[in-house]
Structure 1
Amino acid sequence: LQVPWMGVVAMAFAAFRNLYGVFWPAFRDTFAGAELVSACAQLRRDAETAVEALNPPSVLTRLETFGYAPREIAQIRDMIEVFSHGNFPYCFMATLMRLLLEGHELENRAPPRPSAGRHAPPVEVPFLLIEEHHADQPTRDIYADIRARLGLPFVNTDYRALSRWPSCFALLWGDLRGHVATPPYEEIVARLHAAFVEASLALPNPHAVSAAALRAAARRDGALEEILDVVRLFQWLLPGLITNIAFFRAQLRP
């Protein structure tokens, strides 16, 4: 995946040891393949183009008023770039798993084409997460607002990383929050969700893993419907997270 963090989605899936033990070895090469890398790049372009319809306001002048130096703003951009890249393969992970667990078959049995070189941003970006029990009250209030508005039981890694710059994150979220759940926002998220499903169905399944095999592995971990609920949660939330990060990126555009 070429990401510097273990996504919550991957950690949640890894808790289902039999399921993950079948899924990851079967698709490891797919995630390193040119087809998935290309699909991630295309969907990223689509998402970043789509959020322009929401007219993200620039935060640069406001950050400069707060005293942010160019180097600090560049660090925030670098952090957003990490998530702008990394959320896409994680969303494919959730989408592939959901499709198979729901009984869909992945018919492309061709081996993935090798991906040439590195396609991710540098991993040297400092990765400091502001956990809720370490945050000040204004940041905790934002976390609570994020959970309430997005309907999430937790605060994603992306938001906890950007809270390293609390006054900046307050601006970013403050400009975005009013768009959440509006028809234009929901249309962007729905289109992105559908695009992930369409692209996932075309990805290589070189080990010919069937829906039945993955469902059988899941049943060894617990009730299939309960596991599907977890998988669907992540597959539902990640297109929205991608949309939000694209909005933040546009707010910081030079």
Structure 2
Amino acid sequence: MTFAHYPKFYDSLWTTLEPVGSEVFASACGSLRDTAEAEAGKLAQPGIVPRLERMGYGRREPDEIRAGNEAFPDGNMPYVLLATVARLLLEGHDWPGQGLLEPRQTSVLAGDRPVLMDAHHADASTAAVYADIRETLGLSFVNTDYLAFARWPSYFAPAWANLKVAVTGPGYADAVRTVHRAATDLALALPNPAGLTSGVLQAAAQEDAEPDEVLSVVRLCQWLLPGLAVNVAFLRAQLVE
């Protein structure tokens, strides 16, 4: 379930978030990405390119995988910040952010929609990887990012095996907590020119469903997304030659 399942809440959040198109928001997203990559860098990351080359991958295919990975931070980081703002306001916190909103100088070009290996198209080996992802991460679904990486099944199976070792090993929980704290600090520092308050967002959420239901969904998203940011950064680092 996503925020869009609660239209009043989603519209209230989105239409008042003028910072999204600003330089300060772009800077916050960049800072959050840097934090995720720094934390992923502390985890053991065996390079995977030599293995791909031994399997017969040419130069073009690893480049395509890198490009596919690069598409996700631009979407994940803004969503982390939006989810963090939503969680804080629904929990009753203030959003005191101040500062100028300078329009972003460079536009973000929408890339092609990633090709996804949806579960109903996956062969038995990829379906087993999906099941392992759900069990390891404690999810009832597989994130879109992983569905896109599974477009290259012979890459994704060993890539996930390496990531699983990191996810279940020492240091991973601390890495996710660090990204989580960074997202909170960055979100609270964003300007709030529309003066969106806890009361306004709570009232909008109540028009859609029981407030606790909306809050539980927001909390789930806001906690899972920092982990996803670390995981994608880990997979990206594996592809560095």
TM over 0.5: yes
Give the AA of the match of 1:123. G
Please give the alpha-carbon distance, in whole angstroms, between the structure 2 residues aligned to 1:153 and 1:175. 21
For 2:204, which of 211, 214, 217 is the aligned residue? 217
For 2:82, which of 93, 97, 102 is the aligned residue? 93
Q: How do residues 20-31 of structure 1 correspond to structure 2 at under 5 angstroms? A: 20-27=10-17, 29-31=18-20
CA drift at 1:183: 3.4
TM-score, normalization by structure 1: 0.91
Give the AA of the match of 2:30. A
Percent identity of equivalent pairs: 44
Match of 1:4 in 2: none
Please give the alpha-carbon distance, in whole angstroms, between the structure 2 residues aligned to 1:17 and 1:94. 15
Give the AA of the match of 1:26. T
1:32 aligns with 2:52: no
Match of 1:230 in 2: 217
Give the AA of the match of 1:55. A
- Aligned residue pair count: 241
- Considering only aligned residues, what root-mean-square deviation do their CA atoms show, in Å? 1.5
| Cα contact 1:103–1:211 (8 A) shared by 2 | yes
CA drift at 1:87: 0.9
| Cα contact 2:97–2:189 (8 A) shared by 1 | yes
| Cα contact 2:84–2:222 (8 A) shared by 1 | yes
Displaced runs of 4 or more, over 4 A: none
Match of 1:68 in 2: 57
| Cα contact 1:111–1:205 (8 A) shared by 2 | no
CA drift at 1:112: 1.9
Give the AA of the match of 2:69. I
Q: How do residues 86-235 of structure 1 correspond to structure 2 at under 5 angstroms? A: 86-118=75-107, 123-124=111-112, 127-235=114-222
Please give the alpha-carbon distance, in whole angstroms, between the structure 1 residues aligned to 2:213 and 2:189. 27
TM-score, normalization by structure 2: 0.96
Unaligned runs of 5+ in 1: 1-10
Deviations along 1:35-59, one digit per CA (max 9) or x if unpaired, are 1110111121122122222120100
CA drift at 1:110: 4.3
Unaligned runs of 5+ in 2: none
